[in-house]
Structure 1
Amino acid sequence: MSSQLGVDRPVGDGHFAAREAGVPLRHPDRFFIDGRWVAPLSASSFAIVDPATEELYYTVSLAGEADMSHAIAAARTAFDRTGWSLLEPAERAEWVHKLAEGLRRRADDAGLLWTRQVGVLHTMASAAMARVGATYDFYADLAADFEWQVRHSPMQGGFGVVVREAVGVVGAIVAWNTPASLIAYKVAPALVAGCTVVVKAPPEAPGEAYVLAEVAEEIGLPAGVLNVVTADRDASELLVTDPRVDKIAFTGSSAVGKRIASICGSRMARYTLELGGKSPAIIFDDYDLDAAAKSLAAAECTLNGQVCASLTRVIVGRDRHDEFAEALAGYFTAARIGDPFDSSAQIGPLAMERQRERVESYIQKGLAEGARLVGGGGRPKDFDRGFYIEPTVFAGVDNQSTIAQEEIFGPVLSVIPADSEQHAIELANQTVFGLNASVFTNDIDRAYHAARRIRSGTVGHNGFRSDPRMGVGGFKQSGFGREGNRDGLLPYLEPKSVILDEIPAGYGPLN
């Protein structure tokens, strides 16, 4: 089998030189609150370790309860006592466009931080960070066409209009694997809607949030509209429980999402949750096994397997199961493991030591529960440092086993045999998750009908496919609500029915 996975990357193109750059942040020891960089009221800090070298990269201050309260107060004041939420949507959109431009200028810095913090291949990080600004532009552009007000004719006569107004103060809590994009799909629609925001950056990867804060400072974004703090679990829970916060937008594990939902439900706060997954890929009997194996192996290398939407449960007909498992193992285990700054690498380290230990524990559970290891399963022999794990494939996996039901968040794939097409779809749906899925078949009608039967927020065709501009979110324990597209703006707005005796003076479509 080829070790290229269909991707050729040039060697010696300057990515290694980026490792020598310093930390491109001005104030990792401070928080961005009320338009200023303020010293923490807590003495706590967090050491960020480069996952490829196991060396200290930098240290960031951690917010305590007083720091978090300060950030919430700034956002509350900015919403209640300034004119931010009363600006015309087009005016707020201008600010969001400015953020987009600033982020494009800082794309190299954000890409460097992403790689050094969590081990993402620098080739991917550089390209992805250049596109983050487009999310801000998308929501800023949406402001011009969105129906902020819809006129009605009340049953009792007079003048009626449904207006959509900002929900209020938003707490945005993001995971460490892709923080820049996760922040974008929360902050951009929130600001366009007229909300103010407290971004809670993950301690493992706070840098991208700090870059956003530095851009906000540079463009003169009104004080308190955007606040950025880094916090661990205790201070983060204060953001969820504080009655001054009207909505929580969270991306992370389903376990934490359930906790957030219960807290928000107890005080009737709004929330959107983008949570975990255990996503199936079904390979029907008309599709080429080698092509499917190559596609799935390449996709699982993305973010070194640390993707909530990864297609980690591969369901294939029992009569073709062994042939496919060997083909998948051949491609996946041949992926070039390497330093994330090496342009020839196809998969890098896991983000941190505890993550590698988690993945290793799941590999042991797979073996203990009777799955057959056909590739990988250990630490690569040629790496004496770094949080590396071999790309791993299990065959003959019971769909009710631990490795088939729980999110591993690492490069571990399970091949599951099915007795028929109907059985394959049943297996795909036998999970508490429903984030992503894919159907491999040459028959487009067969693909469509199967997609309609799979309980998942996204279903792709012949590969890992996702389009945030169509919306991203999950069924069941994979989340609540959607991010991306017009649907991603709605959770930051509250509809209000206004019924008057007659048309007010100066009424217009945006007044």
Structure 2
Amino acid sequence: MTERADIKEYGQLVIGGELVDPLGRDVIEVVSPHTGEVFARVPHAAPADVDRAVATARKAFEEGPWPRMTVEERIEVISKIKDLFAARHEEIARTISSENGTPFTASIMVQALSSMMVWDAAIAIARDFTYEEPRDGVLGKLLVRREPVGVVAAVVPWNVPQFTAAAKLAPALLAGCPVILKTSPEAPLDAYLLAEMAREAGLPEGVLSILCADREVSEYLVGHPGVDKVSFTGSVAAGKRVMEVCAKNLTRVTLELGGKSAAIVLPDADAAGAVAGIVPFAWMINGQACVAQTRILVPRSRYDEFAEAFAAAASALKVGDPMDPATELGPLVAQRQQQRSLDYIRIGQEEGAKILTGGGRPTGDGLDRGWYVEPTLFGGVDNSMRIAREEIFGPVICLLPYGDEEEAVKIANDSDYGLSGSVWTGDTERGIDIARRVRTGTYSVNTFSLDMMGPFGGFKNSGLGREFGPEGFGAYLEHKMIHLPAGYDGAGA
């Protein structure tokens, strides 16, 4: 990497762990969401670079040591990556904040330490996982094995780039799979830090490649016949296209897509506790989180009380430079995302919803040149409105009234998505009952959490398959059944 006129220049790609010159000439300019100015440049991978990365990964899988190491040997290397990640977590957080606008104080946990926790959890799961087991069959003894799926293409978004990378890389690498990590053009810089850590930790040659490219080259990667498994995080539209392309080669696929999650506040909930618990996770990552609680359902009998409390909390969020320690809400990642949010704010007003707070671009020092949108809360929202049904991916939240508990559950389930959600109540058992009835892949009672030891993923348009936990780890392994001869007792030949 070189720096010129305050612009960071990365001139090479990471292929098989080595920095190599790109075969194409295109360059990606990384724009600061705070200033709207270019602050870094990286090479744009060409299809020929993809071919080279896939060939390198295939050689590593078919001939290299990584898939043939013991699990304990792989854990030793991955543990070093995790330790290096921990030592550089502030640098990682700062880099991601500069790319996507996450407030640095939040980035420490949301972008860096949570990613380290993913690596930690995957190591624990790999250590205890059952890779081979005897089984009594109908016709005799069996040996059931789970072996690495092969070359993995991991496609990650810009909102939580290291968290989603870890969700794919950690289990894939521990399972014995080489990985090609495809980063987003908006947030490619943090991946170079990861590449440095992988090299320092001793990850063997060929096991990890990192490419940054647009949709056309990304499609070329996921459709490559040399790829055995695709793990993708992104929009529903892009996920459907990934699945379509993968179908041509019967490539295994995991899709973690969008959400329009509902936080249900029951009539017996403590208002202060519910507001304090929901607000940080409604506007998390500046509203750019697939699990964000973007629909807040409150009882009609207490609607005015909750509307006032949520509006006050949202309006109190400090908007500003993501590097300012006082900032709670930073800029959106790109101008197109800013305009998308502003368009939905206009649509919400046209649909008859009422703006309780926010609704435009903030004013203040430096806020006029970045991609800022005020934290916005709509009240009086009907679930049929577009702002309640479509994923905005910005700081725009809907407050929806309901009559009784049955209606609340019905509204929560009346969505094309099913990724996350929460319920807030004075009766935990009642909350657990609600959790069982809402069709989402992840749910929380009187809290909001995403635990890396359990399965994470969505129902309906929110995705296919699971990440995290033994369920997510198993997605990078294939089952094999070995029939054993009659009389064999496992004691030797």
TM-score grouping bracket, smaller chain normalisation = over 0.9
Name the SS of the counterpart of 1:469 in structure 2.
Answer: coil
1:144 partnered with 2:127:
yes
Residue 375 (str. 1) matches residue 357 (str. 2): yes
Residue in 2 aligned with 1:132? 115
Deviation at 1:291, TM superposition (A): 3.1
Q: TM (normalized to structure 2)?
A: 0.94
For structure 1, the residue ranges without an aligned partner over 5 or more in a row are 1-20
What residue in structure 2 maps to residue 404 of structure 1?
Answer: 388
CA contact (8 A) 2:154 2:231 kept: yes
Shift of residue 292 of structure 1? 2.1
CA contact (8 A) 1:25 1:211 kept: no
Matched residue, 1:103:
85
What is the aligned partner in structure 1 of residue 348 from structure 2?
366
- 1:173 counterpart residue number: 155
The structural deviation recorded for 1:203 is: 0.8
Classify the secondary structure of the residue corresponding to 1:316.
strand
1:136 Cα offset (Å): 2.1
Is the 2:261–2:292 Cα contact (8 Å) retained in structure 1?
A: yes
Shift of the alpha carbon at 1:23? 12
CA-CA distance at 1:284 after TM superposition? 1.0
- Provide the rounded CA distance (Å) in 1 between the counterparts of 2:304 and 2:115: 41
Deviation sequence 1:333-389 (CA, Å, 0-9, x none): 121112111111211111111110111111111011111111100001212221111
Deviates more, 1:332-341 or 1:128-137: 128-137
Question: How far is the alpha carbon of 1:141 from its aligned partner?
Answer: 3.0
Say if 2:67 is the partner of 1:85: yes
CA distance in 1, matches of 2:488, 2:337: 59
Q: Distance in 2 between matches of 1:427 and 1:69?
A: 47
- For residues 252-272 of structure 1, the C-alpha deviation after alignment (integer angstroms, 9 at most, x for no partner) is 111111111122233211111
Aligned to 2:480: 496
Matched, 1:325 2:301: no
State the Cα distance separating 1:213 from its structure 2 match: 1.1
How far apart are residue 206 of structure 1 and its match?
Answer: 0.9
Residue number in structure 2 paired with 1:446: 430
Structure 2 distance, partners of 1:440, 1:144, is 36
Corresponding residue number in structure 2 for 1:464: 448
2:35 pairs, out of 47, 53, 63, with: 53
Paired with 1:130 and 1:289, the residues of 2 have a C-alpha distance of: 30
Match in the other structure for 1:9: none
1:187-198 → structure 2 map (5 Å cutoff): 187-198=169-180
> How many Å apart are 1:165 and its aligned residue?
0.2
Tell me which residue corresponds to 1:227: 209
What whole-Å deviation, never above 9, does each CA across 1:462-494 have from its counterpart, x for those lacking one?
Answer: 243322222211111111111111111000000
Q: Which residue of 1 aligns with 2:105?
A: 123
Contact 2:270 2:426 in 1 (8 A): no
| Cα distance in 2 between the residues matched to 1:291 and 1:129 | 27
Q: Which amino acid aligns with 1:66?
A: A
Letter in 2 for 1:253: S
1:435 aligns with 2:419: yes
| Within-5 A mapping of 1:340-351 | 340-351=322-333
After superposition, the Cα gap between the structure-2 partners of 1:390 and 1:120, relative to the gap in structure 1 and judged at 3 Å, is: same
What is the aligned partner in structure 1 of residue 227 from structure 2?
A: 245
Shift of 1:278: 0.1
**1:55 & 1:93 partners in 2: Cα distance?**
41
Query: 1:292 touches 1:440 (CA, 8 Å); kept in 2?
Result: yes
Distance in 1 separating the partners of 2:152 and 2:413: 33
| Letter matched to residue 443 of structure 1 | D
User: Helix, strand or coil for the counterpart of 2:180?
Assistant: strand
For the 8 Å contact 1:290–1:324, the answer to whether it is kept is no
How many Å apart are 1:97 and its aligned residue? 1.0
1:301 and 2:283 aligned: yes
The superposition leaves residues 395-447 of structure 1 with CA deviations (integer Å, 9 ceiling, x where unpaired) of 11110111000001111110111121101100000001000111111011211
* Contact 1:168/1:246 (8 A) holds in 2: yes
Indicate the SS of the match to 1:250: strand
Instruction: Provide the rounded CA distance (Å) in 2 between the counterparts of 1:331 and 1:441.
Output: 19
Mapped contact 1:23–1:113 kept (Cα < 8 A) = no
Q: Relative to 1, partners in 2 of residues 1:103 and 1:268: Cα closer, same or farther, differing over 3 Å?
A: same
- Structure 2: which amino acid aligns with 1:149? E
Aligned to 2:376: 392
**Unaligned 5+ runs, structure 2:** none
> 1:8 is matched with which residue?
none
Aligned with 1:34 (options 16, 20, 27) = 16
1:58–1:242 CA distance, 2 compared to 1 (3 A): same
Which residue identity does 2:37 align to in structure 1? E
SS at structure 2 position matched to 1:468? coil
Q: 2:238 aligns with which of 252, 256, 260?
A: 256
1:354 maps onto 2:327 in alignment: no
- Post-superposition offset of 1:506: 9.2
Q: Secondary structure at the match of 1:470?
A: coil
- Corresponding residue to 2:58 among 61, 76, 79: 76
1:155 to 114, 132, 138: 138
- Looking at structure 2, the residues matched to 111 and 403 of structure 1 have their Cα atoms a distance apart, in angstroms, of 31
One-letter code of the match for 2:186?
E
**How far off its partner does 1:502 sit?**
6.2
Distance 1:27 1:493 in 2: 38
| Partner Cα distance (2:244, 2:475) in 1 | 18
Instruction: Choose from 69, 94, 102 the match for 1:112.
Output: 94
- Secondary structure, in 3 states, of the residue corresponding to 2:417? coil
Contact residue 264 and residue 297 of structure 2 kept, 8 A: yes
State the alpha-carbon separation in 2 of the partners of residues 475 and 265 from structure 1: 20
Seen in structure 2, the aligned counterparts of structure 1 residues 467 and 137 have a Cα distance that, compared at 3 Å, is closer
Q: 1:214 aligns with which of 184, 196, 203?
A: 196
Distance in 2, matches of 1:506 and 1:177, equals 50
Q: Is the 8 A contact 2:93 2:104 kept in 1?
A: yes
What is the TM-score normalised by the length of structure 1? 0.91
- Answer yes or no: is the 8 Å Cα contact 2:74–2:174 preserved in 1: yes
- The residue type equivalent to 2:445 in the other structure is H
Alignment partner of 1:414 is 2:401? no
Task: Sort the Cα spacing of 1:201 and 1:379 in 2 relative to 1 into closer, same or farther, 3 A.
Answer: same
- State the identity %: 42
Instruction: Go from structure 1 to structure 2 and tell me whether the alpha carbon gap of 1:23 and 1:259 turns closer, same or farther (over 3 Å shift).
Output: farther
CA distance in 2, matches of 1:29, 1:416: 50
Distance 2:325 2:61 in 1: 46
Distance 1:131 1:507 in 2: 45
2-side partners of 1:384 and 1:86: how far apart?
A: 55
Alpha-carbon distance in 2 for matches of 1:465, 1:131: 11
